[in-house]
């Protein structure tokens, strides 16, 4: 599927994910840079020391995100402040755990948290 990258802006992604590690956390914050959409992706091995170094991150477009984890485009419109833990079973992504509400959530709940 061809993605129109102009509709999404840039995603801040751990180089560990680019190198094949699974996404463990994703959060969205309002960006002060208009070209970024606020989505940040961390891998299962990123620790505080790793994430404190900006050299450990790259900005990628929506097509690249779709190639890595198409689920993220499904939740793209989630509000700022969204903070999710990615759940896997036998290496396959099966859902999300909302760290703010402390419960497993469906995509509809992520997109409309006040429903």
pLDDT digits (tens, 9 = 90+) for 75-96: 999 999 999 999 999 999 999 9
User: Is a pLDDT exceeding 90 seen at residue 106?
Assistant: yes
> pLDDT-based confidence at 113, cuts 50/70/90?
confident
DSSP per-residue letters across 49-80: HHHT-GGGEEEE-HHHHHHH-THHHHTTTPPT
Query: Where are the domains positioned within the chain?
Result: 5-111
Q: What whole-number distance in Å separates Cα of residue 23 and Cα of residue 44?
A: 6
d(CA 65, CA 26): 12
Chain segment 33-73, per-residue pLDDT in tens = 999 999 999 999 999 999 999 999 999 999 999 999 999 99
CB within 8 Å of 49: residues ≥ 6 apart: none
Task: For tokens 């509400």, name the residue.
Answer: 101
What is the number of residues in the chain? Answer: 115
Q: How far is CA 29 from CA 20, 21, 36, 89, in A?
A: 24, 23, 10, 28
Q: What is the pLDDT of residue 6?
A: 84
pTM over 0.75: yes
């Amino acid at each position: 599927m061809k993605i129109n990258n102009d509709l999404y802006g840039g995603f801040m992604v751990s180089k560990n994910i680019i190198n094949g590690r699974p996404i463990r956390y994703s959060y969205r914050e309002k960006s002060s840079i208009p070209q970024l959409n606020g989505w940040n992706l961390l891998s299962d091995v990123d620790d505080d020391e790793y994430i404190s170094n900006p050299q450990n991150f790259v900005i990628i477009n929506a097509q690249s995100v779709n190639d890595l984890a198409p689920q993220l485009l499904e939740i793209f419109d989630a509000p700022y402040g969204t903070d999710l833990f990615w759940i896997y079973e036998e290496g396959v992504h099966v859902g999300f755990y909302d760290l703010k509400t402390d419960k497993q959530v469906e995509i509809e709940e992520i997109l409309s948290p006040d429903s």
